[in-house]
Amino acid sequence: MLHLRIITPDDRTEVVTELLTEHPAVTNLVVLPGAARSPAGDVVLCDVAREAANEILEGLDELGIDHDGSIAVERVDLAISDRAENAKELAPGHGDDAVVWEEFGRRVDDSSLLTWSFVAFLAIAVQIAAIGILVDSPILIVGAMVLGPEFGPIAAICFGLLRRRPGLIWCSIKTLVIGFAVAIAITWLCAFVSYKIGWIDGTWLDGVGRETQFIVKPDRWSFIVALLAGAAGMLSMTSDKSTALVGVFISVTTVPAAGYIAVALAVAHWAEVTPSLVQLGVNLGGMIVAGLATLIVLRVVWGRARLRERISRRTVRPSR
């Protein structure tokens, strides 16, 4: 269940409550006349099944509540009520699988921004990956994969392509390009200093073992893994199962490839730079393709579910 707190101008309170009352997936409706001060208006509270949230939010947007009032959405961890259970049963689909597009859109909008924290996390992840490559440690490389924050802008690119928002696409691309460029530059500087003071030498990359050599050997499996990871990552972000996103980070070698590029440049191992760049591009491209395809499938599936639910409601009404 989701909890909605709506501030509506008093001249639209009646139509808002009518919208909420008529929907079978809405329950626990409370109206507080004149309770809001900024913005001024009435406060309307209700709980709605996650599966039906899109229809309710779209209806409120059509009434202009997002401009003249306010809409806040919170997750309800526990609802002990027969009415709440009935509301979830009457909503189409299952709550864990439901996509709340407004929520997802706001999340990727934030993820697309180039922030200091994004660059810092990515730079630290790439440096850990570089150390893991030098000491041939799969554990460090996996840790770097988990730490990397790059899937957020990738998801934003997919959403921008779906909704035809070029501004979001270019903002996300800029975040990825600048983020990886800064992370690689910082890691290159650290590796170059280590190389000059004798901590590492040009032969270290020759000793990279079979368990980590996959980073610079892109093949068809790299692209397949990127496709699977992109689909899984998008499902985890759009559904209520976000813990699965950790598995996506571990699956794709974007951060290790960037670390390998930095180290190869520092020790003048030029032959390894191009394959690492290809690996990075293959993984990013595969995740974008799979992420966009997943969003398209989700939109079609939930669009049909909502259509069936509306037809069912229209069929039931005359018998009341």
> What would the DSSP string read from start to end of 215-258?
GG---HHHHHHHHHHHHHHHHHHHSS-GGGHHHHHHH--HHHHH
Which residues have C-beta within 8 Å of that of residue 201, sequence separation ≥ 6? 195, 267
Ramachandran bin of 268, using left for φ above 0, alpha for ψ from -120 to 50, beta for the remaining angles: left
Among candidates 55, 62, 76, 88, which has minimal Cα distance to 5? 76
Show pLDDT as tens, one digit a residue, over the chain (320 residues).
899 999 999 999 999 999 999 888 898 999 999 999 989 999 999 999 888 888 899 899 999 999 999 999 998 888 787 777 777 776 666 656 678 888 888 889 998 999 999 999 999 999 998 888 888 788 888 888 888 888 889 999 999 999 999 999 999 999 999 999 999 999 999 999 988 888 887 666 665 555 556 666 667 777 888 888 888 888 888 876 555 455 555 556 788 889 889 988 888 888 778 888 888 888 899 999 999 999 999 888 776 656 555 545 555 444 33
Listed in sequence order, the DSSP H helices in 31-115 are: 53-62, 65-68, 82-90, 101-111
Structure tokens at 205: 């990359």
Query: CA–CA separation, 294 vs 216, rounded Å?
Result: 28
Strands, E assignment, 38-92: 40-48, 70-75
CA dist list (Å): 173 to 160, 222, 284:
11, 21, 11
3-state secondary structure of 23: coil
Beta pairing partners, 27: 47
pLDDT at position 318: 42
Which residues have C-beta within 8 Å of that of residue 263, sequence separation ≥ 6? 130, 133, 134, 187, 188, 191, 200, 204, 205, 269
pLDDT at position 166: 93
Structure tokens at 104: 């997802």
> Residue 185 carries which side chain, given as an amino acid letter?
A
CATH of 2-91, one of 3.40.190.10, 3.20.20.70, 3.30.499.10, 3.30.70.120: 3.30.70.120
Helix (H), strand (E) at residue 32 = strand 26-37
Decide: 114 and 244 in contact? Cβ < 8 Å.
no
pLDDT at position 205: 65
Identify the residue whose tokens are 């499938």.
297
pLDDT at position 118: 93
Q: What is the DSSP letter of 78?
A: -
